Every structure is written in C-alpha cells, then in structure tokens.
Amino acid sequence: MELIVVGSGTGVPSLRRGAPGYGVRAGGRLVFLDLGPGVLRAMLRYGLNFSDIDVLALTHLHPDHVGDLVPFLFATRYSLGYTRTEPFHLLAARGFREFYGHLQQAFGRWVEPPPGLMQLRELDPAGNEEVVLGDVVIKSAPTNHTDGSLAYRVEAEGRALVYSGDTDESDSLVELARGADLLVLECANPFKVPGHLTPPEAGRLAAKAGVPRLVLSHFYPPCDEVDVAALAAVEFPGEIIKAEDGMRIGL
C-alpha cells in the first residue's frame, strides 16, 4: 500500500500546497480521497492518471474538498482524455445525491458520465459503513466537523490507512483508526479553530488510537511558520510526518 499526497493544503491559494487530494494505491486499485480545486492537474505532476481512479471517496462537500468534482465528471465524457471503460465508484455521505442534482441543474448533461460508468453509493453520515471492492475494504465513520463529514479507512494487503478529512476531536475517528498502520490527520492551524485540529490535538487523537505513524496535513499558511510536528509530538510518541505535495509514503 502507498499514500501519495497530491494536495496538503486548503482552499487558500498557495504555490507550496495544493487543495486536498490523496491517492492510495492498495490491492491493485487506486483509491482517491477528496478532490479539491487543481488536484486533477496536480495528479499528472505526480504520475497519477485520473482515468485510473477506481474509487473516489469524498469526506464532505466544502469547496476545497470537491472543487475538481465538476471538471472530473465533465472530463469522463471525452475519450480523448478519459480512457476508462469499467465503472468507478463514488462514495459520499447521504445527501450527496441532492448535491449532485444541483450540479446537474447548473451544468446539465455535461456533469453526467457515460451511462453505467459511475457507481454512486451514499454512506450513513452518523454511523459506520463498509464497502468491499475485491481485495480492498473501505470503512467510514462520522467526524466532528459539519453534518455529513466522514473519515475513511482503507484496508488491503494486511495494511490499513485512515484519513480524517476535516475534523475536530472525535471519538468515532479514534475508533476507526485503532490498529491502523498510518493515520492522516488534518492539522489546519497552530491555534484553535472550531471544527479543526491543532497539532497537539492531532497528536492526542493519534495517541488515543494507538497508531505507530501520524501524517499531519491540510495546512493553512500559519502552519508553515511553526514546527507542527514538534507541537504534535508533545502528545504523540510515534513517528510524525509533515505532509508535502508529491510525498509518497509506503506502508
């Protein structure tokens, strides 16, 4: 299993950090977590092809996490660039169909992939779900951010990776992450913003989950002015990695 950090930033434009987007190669599949603005183009920079996305899992519907969804759906209509013929799976919390309906009202058929290409599954926004695709198991749990915000756990090859999406401290996320090999947590600012984690809070959450490795990501600019790993290390004794765009982490 491998994590590819395509975007370690937020909705704030940055030359260093793109909007959220994370590829996970697992069990012969490409699972993609969130699709912020500019992520499709950044994928090419890091050797990823949007035609290869087997699963697109969206944590929530804030623009910095779904900004490239419309361009993605639009591009699936053109065989000159999109070469996939087998269906891809889109996972999101219940309520996504309504959101997608608004996109169809705004853009019409231009955001409708060819018939049968997109397999949409809405997940319980308040409980735990499990999706099995061949040798890959994807589990979800609610997080403490907005209604319908989810975290995801990807299991394959005897390994497990958990991605928080946006969250404040969250017991359900701790339970989802127990026994995982790698935990990717948002760490938006070094000061408290409700609905997000500070570095010490991220470290404390990782310590509660008992994971050996923690990746901090989703940085607003103030996080690059301090040592966020050192701040998290006050609460977490394991390995801490500060995400950068293009980083690859093997499990």
**11 CB-near residues (< 8 Å, 6+ apart):** 19, 36, 37, 62, 63, 64, 67
State the Cα torsion 131-168-7-209 to the nearest 10°: -60
pLDDT of residue 182: 98
**Could you tell me how far CA 84 lies from the centroid of its own chain?**
22
Confidence of residue 57 (pLDDT cuts 50, 70, 90): very high
pTM for this model (two decimals): 0.97
Count Cβ atoms below 10 Å from residue 229 Cβ, excluding itself: 17
CA of 86: how far to CAs of 97, 110, 120, 133, in Å? 21, 20, 14, 13
- Write out the residue range of the structural domain in which residue 188 sits: 2-247
List all residues 6 or more positions away from 199 whose beta carbon is below 8 Å from its beta carbon: 187, 190, 216, 223, 226, 228, 229, 231, 232
Residues 121-178 pLDDT 10s: 999 999 999 999 999 999 999 999 999 999 999 999 999 999 999 999 999 999 999 9
- What is the pLDDT of the chain when averaged over all its residues? 97
CATH number for the domain that contains residue 30 = 3.60.15.10
Question: At residue 141, what is the residue type?
Answer: A
Please report which confidence band the pLDDT of residue 80 belongs to, taking 50, 70 and 90 as the band edges. Answer: confident
Q: What pLDDT does 79 receive?
A: 87
- How many Cα atoms are found within 13 Å in the side-chain-facing hemisphere of 169? 10
Per the structure, the count of domains in the chain is 1
